[in-house]
Amino acid sequence: MDTLTLLWIVSVAFTGLTKAAGVLPDGPLNAAVGETVTFSTTLTPQGTQIISVNWKFGTKVIFTFNGVNITAPEYEGRITYFMSTGSLELRNVVLNDSGEYTVSIFLFGESPKPGNTRLDVLVKVSNVVATASSTDLVEFSSSVSLSCSSSGPSLSFLWLNSSSEVTGSDRVQLTDGGSTLTINNVTRYDQGPFRCNVSNPVSSDISNLLNFSISYGPENITLTISPSQEYHVVGSNISLMCSAESRPPAQFQWFLNGGLWSDGAELRLVDIQESHSGNYSCQAFNSRTLRYITSQPASVTVLARVANVVATASSTDLVEFNSSVSLSCSSSGSSLSFLWLNSSSEVTGSDRVSSLMEAPLSL
């Protein structure tokens, strides 16, 4: 029987009837392959006189101290023992180091101090890749499924939209342990970038970014007229602009009094005539969403300037209290209004003064 086994039997003889007091903290301890783990006891160095220590992995004794350090051959070069506390360091851990570890510590003048804990050795997370069922989407119509794959055990998945965590909702479902994210009826705010953060107890890694092109609109259509005024003069120029929120940019058509007039976001009317008067509206169309929207009509009134104003009289040689006279006013222009003046005073209707169709004046 070798010395290591004999020392373990001796310690069992002392501790077999002793209920564990637990000098090791609650586990499990987690470590990545290749890392170093320290099994720290709760003992303090001051005033502690350790007589003997036995460390065991499963049923196998891996280290014993009884005045001298004895390490199991297969652990040579991997174990460091801390005499002041009975703690043990295990270096370059491998997957097969996962399991239950127990210790029995014998102090001078005290009952034995047992303890146990568990070590889980895990492979680090790697090869995190995020994919999407589609990246070209239509707002309110399309749904998309994002998948996250990774190497490593005991994985947890967290999806991020930009820097915000994505959680489940009426439109958003997380399935397959969180590795699959489904977004129904996407909105423009779902464009991303999305990424997947994968972690296990010993490491974490993050995926590539996923961005989406989300078509939306048109909406919030606006029609503006420049110059903005109630009336426009024959021969002048008018510019009408149409805009709408849309992705991709909307296509525009112009209508005059309900009839198709022109295409494009801008309608320029040059050397306008009275025939250009009417109600103008624009319509925006998105070829990706197949949606359209029409603006409220805007009225354009084109008037000719007043010109060639001529006043005539039926007679100019009159007799007081006996004669009557008719004055006529003619002019070119549109939507004309007439005002008669006697010297600088406005002439208004009375028993003696009447007008016909605003232009003739009878006295």
pLDDT for residue 8: 36
Question: At residue 215, does pLDDT exceed 50?
Answer: yes
Q: How far is CA 240 from CA 97, 229, 236, 261, 293, in A?
A: 78, 12, 13, 12, 17
| Superfamily (CATH) of domain 3-122 | Immunoglobulins (2.60.40.10)
From the candidate CATH numbers 3.30.70.20, 2.60.40.10, 3.40.50.300, 2.40.70.10, the one assigned to the domain spanning 217-303: 2.60.40.10
Provide the mean pLDDT of the chain: 89
Q: Where in the chain is the domain with CATH 2.60.40.10?
A: 3-122, 126-211, 217-303
Of 109-118, 207-216, 286-295, the least confident = 109-118
pLDDT for residue 355: 63
- Fold that domain 126-211 belongs to in CATH: Immunoglobulin-like (2.60.40)
pLDDT for residue 348: 82
SS3 content of the chain, % helix, strand, coil (to 5): 10, 50, 45
pLDDT for residue 345: 80
Q: How far is CA 143 from CA 134, 146, 203, 216, 286, in A?
A: 9, 10, 32, 14, 19
Question: At residue 142, does pLDDT exceed 60?
Answer: yes
Name the E strands within 171-237.
172-175, 180-183, 194-200, 203-206, 213-226, 232-233
pTM for this predicted structure: 0.72
